[in-house]
Homo-oligomer: A and B are copies of this chain.
Amino acid sequence: MQRREMLKKVAAGAAATGALAAPSIASAQATLNWRCASSFPKSLATIFGTAEIAARRVAELSGGKFNIRVFAGGEIVPPLQVADAVMNGTIECGHTASYYYLGKDPVWAFGTTIPFGMNYRHFTSWWIHGGGNELLNNEWYHKHGIHALLAGNTGGQMGGWFNREIKSVDDLKGLKFRIAGLAGQTLTKLGVVSSMIPAGEMYQALERGTIDALEFVGPYDDEKLGFQKVAKFYYYPAWWEAGAALQMFVNLKSWDALSKENKAALEASCYEANQAMMAKYDFENPPALKRLIAGGTQLRSFPKSVMDASYKAAQEMFAEVSSKNALFKKILDHQAAFQADSVQWTRLNEGAYDSYMGTIRR
């Protein structure tokens, strides 16, 4: 950053005095050193590592002339203030989940996921070919001084760890559940007492009974935090995180100042990292699930009555937010239209195949 600023000043001064014949070429060849603040700790290796995959590839592609140093959550920017730091130019870029900022405005949610939202393949297709990239960047991120690049997905998450069974909607009443954002707002309608507890304090809260349930990510990450030791029932699916997408937020001025080659390098590397992160979870989650089951964890699916009530509550929440927020409604409708056709195709063909293969023991 300092070096870059210095080079800029040197180039500007040189151009003013005419001392350098081609300052633009000199600047294009200069080494760029960017800082990327991640919202995630190194212990969430798959998510944190996604920014590193992108950064490593950018360095390779540029022959070491465009370097991005990735800092773990909290090292240089508090985890939930990464977007702000990118907006105000403290850092050139940050790897984060857009829905962390929905307290400012619920539109931030669409970059990650919403209740009963798109799965990984639907979201990726919506972003790349369905107009999602243009819609979110033009109507939202650019207006906040951010250029957003798709850079990761957790895939479908698990519904979380419960210290008792959920057999009906009645069982949700008074349930102290660590769940935040739009899902928390939705479940509140069904009597859940939702709360946001920092990741580092969740285990203890569940162990001591301060909460009855919590949701985190999926088998691989959950197992590492040890929730299987303090709760017996592991529910699925997380209808609130059917596929949580991550972005690389880039300060818009920093983005605009990049050369064509460097823009291409960062964009391609983030797309590659998006795929690599999903592939990593698809590699790590199946054996972790097996280990959890072998260790005594009881798997449970949310009953259809609970899914139906949650879906209805989510639609009410969407209607309330939409009535006060036109852009929220516009993007919601855009995602919903894409999803409506997609779920039919998925269920029909690959759903039938995956379902059949799930019955086979080789």
B61 in contact with A237 (CB, 8 Å): no
Cβ of A237: which chain B residues have Cβ within 8 Å of it?
A: 349-350, 352-353, 356
CB of A353 within 8 A of CB of B156, answer: yes
Residues of B within 8 A of A289 (CB): 341, 344-345, 348
> Considering the chains assembled together, what is the distance between the CA atoms of A351 and B357 in angstroms?
11
Pick the interface stretch among A15-23, A104-112, A120-128, A191-199: A120-128
Shortest Cβ distance from A303 into chain B, in angstroms? 11
Within residues 231 to 265 of chain A, which ones have a CB less than 8 A from any CB in chain B? 236-237, 239, 242, 260-261, 264-265
Say whether A171 faces chain B, with CB atoms less than 8 Å apart: no
| A62→B260 CA distance, assembly (Å) | 10
Q: 0/1 per residue, A256-285, Cβ < 8 Å to B? A: 000011001100110110111011101101
Q: Is A299 an interface residue when CB atoms closer than 8 A count as contact?
A: yes
A347 touches B353 (CB 8 A): no
A129 sits at the interface (CB 8 A): yes
Interfacial chain B residues near A242, Cβ < 8 Å: 350, 353, 357
What's the Cα separation between A2 and B263 when bound, in Å? 31
Query: Is A224 on the interface with B (CB-CB < 8 A)?
Result: no
Closest to A348 in B: B236
> Given A272-B268, A336-B362, is A351 in contact with B352 using a C-beta cutoff of 8 Å?
no
Chain B proximity mask over A307-342: 1 for CB below 8 Å, otherwise 0? 100010000000000000000000000001001111
A269 to B127, CA, bound (A): 18
Residue of B nearest to A286 (CB): B341
Q: Does A74 contact B (CB under 8 A)?
A: no
Q: Are B351 and A283 in contact (CB under 8 A)?
A: no
Residues of B close to A62: CB separation below 8 A: 261
Q: Assess whether A10 is interfacial by the CB under 8 Å rule.
A: no
Instruction: Give 11 pairs: A residue, B residue, CB < 8 Å, sorted on A.
Output: A60-B264, A119-B350, A121-B121, A125-B279, A128-B276, A129-B280, A268-B268, A268-B269, A290-B344, A307-B356, A340-B361
